[in-house]
Amino acid sequence: MALRSGRSQSALIREAIDAFLQQQQPQGRLARLRQARGLWAERTDLPDWSALRGELDLSALALEP
């Protein structure tokens, strides 16, 4: 690719990294998180996460000497 484009391999890598980082902008991520807010709020088929966390906490305490 470097030979065909007339650019160095390093320049191509930097360009690819810059393009990747532009796609991963925090603003875009924040907007996606805001859009997903409450997505599972009305679901009734999901477990009680607080109870599950409590069970895990209790089992972790039981493992401590």
Residues whose CB falls within 8 Å of the CB of residue 12, separated by 6 or more in sequence, listed in order: 1, 2, 5
Distance CA 43, CA 52 (A): 17
**pLDDT on residue 65:** 57
Closest of 27, 10, 6 to residue 18, by C-alpha? 10
**pLDDT on residue 14:** 92
Distance CA 37, CA 28 (A): 14
Q: Is 40 helix (H, G, I), strand (E, B) or coil?
A: coil
Distance CA 18, CA 23 (A): 9
Sequential pLDDT tens for the chain (65 residues): 766 888 899 989 999 999 888 777 777 778 888 888 888 888 888 888 888 888 887 776 766 55
**pLDDT on residue 17:** 92
